[in-house]
Amino acid sequence: MNMTLESVRLEDADYEFICQLVYERSRIHLGSDKKTLVSSRLAKRLRQLQLNDYHEYCQLLRSAAGEEELRNLIDRISTNHTHFFREIKHFEFLRDTALPQWLKAHARSSETLRLWSAASSSGEEPYSLAIWLAEHLAPAASDRWQIEATDISTRVLELAQVAVYDTERLRGVSDALLRRYFQRGVGSRQGQFRVKEELRRCVHFHHLNLLQPDYPFRTAFDIIFCRNVMIYFDKPTQEDLVRRLADRLVPGGYLMVGHSESLSGIKHPLRLVQPAIYLKPQA
């Protein structure tokens, strides 16, 4: 079979079926403007499955094997490009405001700072947070902080746990940080870097749908990063998600969203501190 994007068209009826199925299972809202994106992300999968067109793919999704393939579909739809220290202003806010506030409030206690990277993708965000905390709060060997990292995609979580990145994904990481927190690849791994074990141990990865009925975490978080996720959701889903995230913040905790996202127009209990940064007020 010789299939190209140019020769195979994603018909409207098949696209509507995919959109509805993805929304029901993940609440990701795919509008008409995402049709080209969906068809391009699924083309490689059709070749792998040796299917002739998207209609056959939809038949697979309707079949007994559809449940497993649905996970693959959501993996492909939800995966975003990311890199280390993306949207650096959030990290600067941690260094200059959030971490000093937390240290002052817990100066006489042995509390652990808890962070959640709620859409961790292939690990760049939580490992960036780990590096930042090791630099500005306590060494990686310390138990002063911990990071939980979750994503709906099992495929990117596997990549995150391996923690190997090529040079392009590491732009924004200084040479000094590369030396301190990464192992440089040799031989066939030349041009790649792996996060050192002492830092990997500080980040705990979990498979999680942010809209599932309950979360596995027993303790609230001081800081939640949930960036570039809500752009996929409609307003009711955004409101539901923000309420859920706010419930899992300690009073005085911060929620970071993507700089292209805003909570304006939805009901929520948080206070805007600066663009893309929200505070849960003290009781």
Candidate list 14, 75, 151, 222, residue with the active-site label: 151
Q: How far is Cα 256 from Cα 262, in angstroms, rounded to an integer?
A: 10
240: Cβ contacts below 8 Å, ≥ 6 apart: 211
DSSP-derived secondary structure for 141-201: T-SSEEEEEEES-HHHHHHHHHTEEEGGGGTT--HHHHHHHEEEP-GGGTTEEEE-HHHHT
Judge whether 41 counts as a catalytic residue: yes
DSSP-derived secondary structure for 83-142: -TT-SHHHHHHIIIIIHHHHHHHTTTS---EEEEETT-TTTHHHHHHHHHHHHHT--TT-
Please check whether residue 75 is in contact with residue 106, taking contact to mean a CB–CB distance below 8 angstroms.
no
Q: How far is Cα 203 from Cα 148, in angstroms, rounded to an integer?
A: 6
Candidate list 41, 71, 95, 244, residue with the active-site label: 41
Judge whether 27 counts as a catalytic residue: no
DSSP-derived secondary structure for 179-192: HHHEEEP-GGGTTE
SS3 content of the chain, % helix, strand, coil (to 5): 45, 15, 40
| Catalytic machinery residues | 41, 151
